[in-house]
Amino acid sequence: MDGSQLGLFGIRDAQRVADEQGLDLVEIAPNAEPPVCRVMDYGKFKYQQAMKAKQARKNQSKVEVKEMKFRPKIDVGDYETKKGHVLRFLKKGARVKITIMFRGREMAHPEQGLNVLERLAEDLKPFATVESAPKLEGRNMLMLLAPIKGAFDTEATEEASEK
């Protein structure tokens, strides 16, 4: 029970030792030669395994995907504001899905939407990479941006040195 090795046993002997202690014989490494078993409380072992798995899932980082919607005929001020929002999302480590929404006859000129996406990708080049190139899906044109690791660290140090 203290984790020390009891030695080599036959299956019947090992089972008898486990029964004497009121515990279970649990096969840990079946492919080893000879197979490795442990005398333990199997219910407690299963519970600990479940808790470890739950903790691992909890510690796993979730990649968040934010969405920012643009129009093909967006004005400069609106563009700059939305670009700032995209930059803020990227700074937090989220991937950003950029959507250009076309309405009515705007579908006749999808190149306008493509120009907006390319301009945004160029403006954000130091901070983000284009994960999926612009593609037209129905009335929307989509592009996915992913943050560049460490891009915002250098920006913060540059701003601090200017002051």
What 3 state SS string does 74-119 have?
CCHHHHHHHHHHHHHHHHCCCEEEEEEECCHHHHHCHHHHHHHHHH
* C-alpha angle 152-150-90 in degrees, rounded to nearest 5: 50
Structure confidence at residue 154 (pLDDT)? 62
Range of the domain at 92: 65-162
Same domain, 91 and 18: no
The 3-state DSSP class for residue 111 equals: helix
Please check whether residues 48 and 75 belong to one and the same domain.
no
Q: Is residue 2 part of a domain?
A: no
CA-wise closest residue to 131 among 101, 97, 92: 97
Q: What is the arithmetic mean of pLDDT over 132-155?
A: 86
Residues 100, 102, 106, 109: is their CA dihedral positive or negative?
positive
Separation between Cα atoms, residue 114 and residue 146, nearest integer Å: 18
User: Is residue 3 a part of any domain in this protein?
Assistant: no
Look at residue 32 and tell me if it is in a domain: yes
Residues 22 and 40 grouped into a single domain: yes
Domain with 35 in it: what CATH number?
A: 3.10.20.80
What is the tally of structural domains in the chain? 2
Q: Would residue 4 count as lying in a domain?
A: no
CATH number for the domain harbouring residue 153: 3.30.110.10
The tens digit of pLDDT for each residue in 45-102 reads: 899 999 999 998 888 777 789 999 999 999 999 999 999 999 999 998 889 999 999 9
Whether residue 144 is found in the same domain as residue 78:
yes
Q: For the chain, what is the radius of gyration of the CA atoms?
A: 29
Place of tokens 């046993």: 9
* Judgement on whether residues 119 and 39 belong to the same structural domain of the protein: no
**Domain assignment present for 6:** no
Q: Is the pTM of this model over 0.85?
A: no
Tokens of 116: 């907006």
pLDDT in tens, 17-39: 899 999 998 888 889 888 888 89
Name the phi and psi angles at 136, rounded to 5. Answer: -90, 125
In a domain, 1, yes or no: no
39 lies in the same domain as 91:
no
* 77 & 35 share domain: no
Q: Is 18 helix (H, G, I), strand (E, B) or coil?
A: helix
Residues 80, 25 within the same domain: no
